[in-house]
Structure 1
Amino acid sequence: MSDQLLDAFDAAQMIPGFVAPKLPREQPDRAALDAADRNTRHWTSTASGPLTPGSDTHRHEMCRMFRETFNPYRPSVIEWPKLTPEALKRIVELPIWDVAVQTEGKARLRMAAYAAQLDDDDVRDALALNAWEENRHKEVLSRMVAAYGIELASEPPYVYPRDVEWAYLVTGYSECVDSFFAFGLFEVARRSGLFPPELIDTFEPVMQEECRHILLFANWVAWHRAGLSGWLRIRFELKVAAVWVYLGWERIGLARAMDADGNEHRHDKKFTMNGAQSVTDVDIDTAELMRLCLAENDRRFSGYDPRLQRPRTTPNLVRFALRFMRRKRR
């Protein structure tokens, strides 16, 4: 694919001291892909004792986890599988591509902006790599929509956030919500057989990478929170509460956005919560989907050191809601 698909974002230029990872130039064979996949899914700290949030050990180990589980796959050498007309139509008609590409575009900038103002070298480098990976996700999506002729709205300019901590929190908590439901929907799509296995396999590393992202975020929140006291702690908790209110309001309806040409578009921010009908022809009720999301969430986190913090809010809310949902009669 042409490098014209790529834009000018460069995490290494934005973040002091960050050096972008060097990727293998050759096309990886199956053994290399399998080894990278195992490495990115399993990690255990060599530190003894608990990883107490706020401690130097916790900070060091959460950053080490993120660096050592890096997957060096190269989206520029992905061979996109040929699709049947039916599968292509299904892919093209999914109402997610504009918001997916633009979400990654905003995420990379917000994470880079926050990383750039950090004094801690370890945390700054981990968040910088996170921003770099978000840019890689955008690259994967951009190449895919180009390969399959999916038309996107022109991208609006990505604006440097005025409050970088707020922007980082919005992005982090949003990813925690969306990834939880995306894990379940991805498994629904895999089981449905409506999409080529090669396409599912292509996006599997991206899904696991999102798991690593929210694992890092959950541990950063715990570490950062533990280091605050007095008014700073109160201010942070109020900001976190405001972020949750903002995310809830955003998902009540369709988010509005302006493209680069000044045209308004409606983005379905609720797709990851109710999009099962778009990826399968099997009738699946809400309770069944929620249980699958919980199972997939647990499976994707299972290989990481249990002493690390996990995102808890969305899974706990879903478990609470399931108490009031009846199983569908067959």
Structure 2
Amino acid sequence: MSDALATPSRTSEASTEAKAAAVVAALAKAEIDQADHAMRNWTDPEPGPVRIGSPQHLRMFCNMLLQTHNPYKPAVIDWPRLDPDALRRVTSLPIWDIAVQTEGRASVRVQAFADTVTAPLLRSALEMDGGEEARHKVVLSKLVEAYGIALAPEPEYRPPADVEWGWLVTGYSECIDSFFAFGLFAAAKRSGFFPAELVETFEPVIQEEGRHILFFVNWAAWYRRNLPWWRRPLYTLKVMRVWAFLIWERVGIARGIDADGVAKDANFPMNSTSSLAEALSPRAMIELCLAENDRRMAGYDPRLLRPETVPKLARLARRLLR
């Protein structure tokens, strides 16, 4: 009699626990979905036009970055199990050392520049930017750990002697690399080169890069407008030197070297185009990058400036490929 009475009770307890677990899982998913939507969509509540370089412009692009932060934790990412072919494709890409080291350098450079800024709101936004770059490094480190990818010993990450130079190199470098990363990740998902689950796991990282370049191009425009007229020519020359450095760097990457003879400062997209986009013509790849760039920027306040240089160069290249 007692066993008969106990069985329904145990069944009821198991059912209650299952329902509770389902509720917790549903709440967790809803929280993740809400954070993901907030990261991709933001509009400043104050209406009206915004003058580039104004205090309102500064407040807007800083709040965009701060208020769209996604609080995911790399340590709890559930890396999907890969079948043997997918695992081989992932582990065979010769970019993981470079990717981890690039994010390590970026976080140090951004934080070094943040330390020179006295305006509280701008400093907070820059610190958020640097913290997210550091988190990207952790994400990549967790990925290589999960899939058994061996990394070379990491160098010591030191702030540059010219912290403004380091910040400009990081910002404009991300403008180039993120534009191609948008298209490459879309191509990887469409082609099945990476499993869709793995691409989706990386989605927060890729969208964060979109936020970073949106923040950077607005900072660059705001900063230049607020420089005294006599400092603008030197600053413009410095930006031109940064672009020349980045172009030279990427020529070196294409050859597999850098200024020291080793390809050690490249971002993921610049080293993986041939692997991930074999099925696309150059024109189709450019069109995909442009479409993805527009899609990823579409959710943010239209009064904020968008990156223009790389998309303009891409459209020019597309015309030449006709």
- Say which of 270, 280, 286 aligns to 1:284: 280
Poorly superposed stretches of 4+, deviation over 6 Å? none
- The aligned residue for residue 211 of structure 1 is 210
* Residues in 1 aligned to 2:265 and 2:94: alpha-carbon distance in whole angstroms: 7
Summarize the Cα distance change of 1:158–1:92 in structure 2 as closer, same or farther, 3 Å threshold.
same
1:164-195: CA deviations, max 9, x gaps?
00000000000000000000000000101232
Is 1:322 the counterpart of 2:318? The answer is: yes
Q: Percent of pairs identical after alignment? A: 53
Superposition map of 1:156-167 within 5 A: 156-167=155-166
- The aligned residue for residue 19 of structure 1 is none
Higher percent of residues as helix: 2
8 Å contact from structure 1 (residues 214, 311) kept in 2: yes
The offset of 1:102, in angstroms, is 0.6
- Say which of 279, 292, 297 aligns to 2:293: 297
Compute the TM-score of the two structures, normalised by the length of structure 2: 0.87
Structure 2: runs of 5+ lacking an equivalent: 1-23
1:32-86: CA deviations, max 9, x gaps?
1111111000001112222212100000111111111110111110111111111
8 Å contact from structure 1 (residues 219, 308) kept in 2: yes
Superposition map of 1:1-330 within 5 A: 29-254=28-253, 255-256=257-258, 265-267=262-264, 269=266, 272-273=269-270, 275-279=272-276, 283-326=279-322
Count of equivalent residues: 295
What amino acid maps onto 1:168 in structure 2?
Answer: W
The offset of 1:271, in angstroms, is 6.1
Summarize the Cα distance change of 1:274–1:103 in structure 2 as closer, same or farther, 3 Å threshold.
closer
SS in 2 for 1:283: coil
* Residues in 2 aligned to 1:122 and 1:186: alpha-carbon distance in whole angstroms: 33
Compute the TM-score of the two structures, normalised by the length of structure 1: 0.85
What amino acid maps onto 1:284 in structure 2?
Answer: L
Root mean square deviation, CA, Å: 1.9
After TM superposition, the structure 1 stretch with the greater mean CA deviation from structure 2, 26-35 or 62-71, is 26-35
SS in 1 for 2:258: strand
1:209-238: CA deviations, max 9, x gaps?
100000100110011010012221111111
- The aligned residue for residue 5 of structure 2 is none
8 Å contact from structure 2 (residues 39, 70) kept in 1: yes
8 Å contact from structure 1 (residues 43, 303) kept in 2: yes
What amino acid maps onto 1:183 in structure 2?
Answer: F
8 Å contact from structure 1 (residues 257, 267) kept in 2: no
What amino acid maps onto 2:115 in structure 1?
Answer: A
